[in-house]
Amino acid sequence: MSEEISMNDMMNQIDSSMKKIHKGDVIKGRVISVSENEIVVNIGYITDGIIPKAEFEVKEEENLEDLVKAEDEIEVYVLKVNDGEGSVLLSQKKAKEIASWRELGKIFKTKEKIKVTVKDVVKGGVITFINGIRAFIPASHLSINYVKDLNEFKGKTLEVQMIEFNKSKGKVVLSRKVIEQKEEEIRKENLWESLEEGKKVKGVVRRLEKFGAFVDIGGVDGLVHNSQLSWGRVKHPSEVVSIGDEVEVFVLDFDKESGRISLALKDVKEDPWNNIEGKYKTGDVVEGVVVKLMDFGAFVELQKGIEGLVHISQICDENIAKPSDKLNKKDKVKVKILDVNGKEKRISLSIKEAMQKPKVDVSKFDDSKEDDMKLGDLFGDKLKDLF
């Protein structure tokens, strides 16, 4: 009787020392042996566990013996407590999948950035895998810019963030766009902090409008008004720049709150009005081109960036209703400089005075001696040229 009790006690002790396992458990074990088709694992249970090759993450051309060795510790999933032959049926694949989903859940909660490689292109996006779990990147989340051809991403490694996670539906959605947006925000903030009036910066022409060109100076667009594209007169920005041009511009003014930045392509140091009084003097007769006709007069370009006004009264000796009665745009004309004001950037011109011939002053001759006045007294040596 005592032997029977002691035997029962011993069996109870053995039983209590063994793990209690159930279907669906994920447990750790130690590899006992590896063969071509299965792995035997000690899981601390009354019987050993068996992992068939089909339940191990292995490629068809690979051998189990090359991947697992005796004494290796391995995590497994319990498929069946009794496989019908007294062994516990295990799956390394399933255990790894559960661990992967658990890891993905953590990544989703912490919004951690991860790197993935695009494996395939499908309708509406691309496919990748994270630790064996299939994930989808919609086309709209591949970039902050429009993506014309999804195939250009195939095989590329991208840094992404998980934007949707649903384990029960096996759904994982990733985005590269959200990362680029955050990076763009940082770049913009750094740009605004670095802006200074008069600072020279590099940029790319992104858009042309009739009033000016928009230039991207690092994630933020600034406007170069037509008047700031060149020292000469500009009707349309396409006369000076094209979309895609890399340019260097000067910061004129900026307002972070309104997101407005005013730029200049022309260099303020090269202002042709600098020292203008030294280039053009009152009384000089120079040649220019009519560039604009107004009701009150005509603007004549003397050189690039320098224009003067010919008032309607200074166009000709006749009384005309409007400048276009005598002038056309692009006419080349000679003008006399009446006044130069470099401070206010104004030059007054006259066409009629530039055309006038010198007059002979006859006031010095006394009318009482008119009868005695000879041609030689009036014209002097000029008559000699006729003989």
pLDDT at 16: 52
Residue 20 phi/psi, 5-degree rounding, is -95, 115
Give residue limits of the domains in the chain. 22-96, 111-180, 196-270, 276-355
- The arithmetic mean of pLDDT across residues 196-205, rounded, is 91
In percent, the amount of the chain with pLDDT more than 90 equals: 53
CATH domain 196-270 topology: OB fold (Dihydrolipoamide Acetyltransferase, E2P) (2.40.50)
User: What tokens were used for 344?
Assistant: 């206010």
Banded model confidence at residue 274, pLDDT cuts 50, 70, 90? confident
User: What tokens were used for 203?
Assistant: 């940029």
pLDDT at 362: 47
276-355 classified as CATH 2.40.50.140: yes
Residues in contact with 204: Cβ distance below 8 Å, sequence separation at least 6, in sequence order: 215, 216, 244, 245, 246, 247
pLDDT at 370: 47
Residues 145-174: pLDDT tens digits?
888 899 999 999 999 999 999 998 999 999
**CATH, range 111-180:** 2.40.50.140
Banded model confidence at residue 365, pLDDT cuts 50, 70, 90? very low
Q: How far, in whole angstroms, is CA 35 from its chain's centroid? A: 57
- The arithmetic mean of pLDDT across residues 105-123, rounded, is 94
Residue 68 to residue 39: CA distance in whole angstroms: 8
Banded model confidence at residue 235, pLDDT cuts 50, 70, 90? confident
- Among the listed residues 246, 245, 264, the one whose alpha carbon sits nearest the alpha carbon of residue 254: 264
Q: Choose the CATH number for 22-96 among 2.40.50.140, 2.60.120.1360, 3.90.280.10, 2.60.40.10.
A: 2.40.50.140
pLDDT at 386: 42
Q: For the chain, how far is it from start to end, CA to CA, in angstroms? A: 169
Q: What is the pTM of this model?
A: 0.58
Q: What angle do CA 55, 60, 64 make, to 5 degrees?
A: 60
User: What tokens were used for 65?
Assistant: 């013996």
* Bridge partners, 310 (sequence order): 298, 349
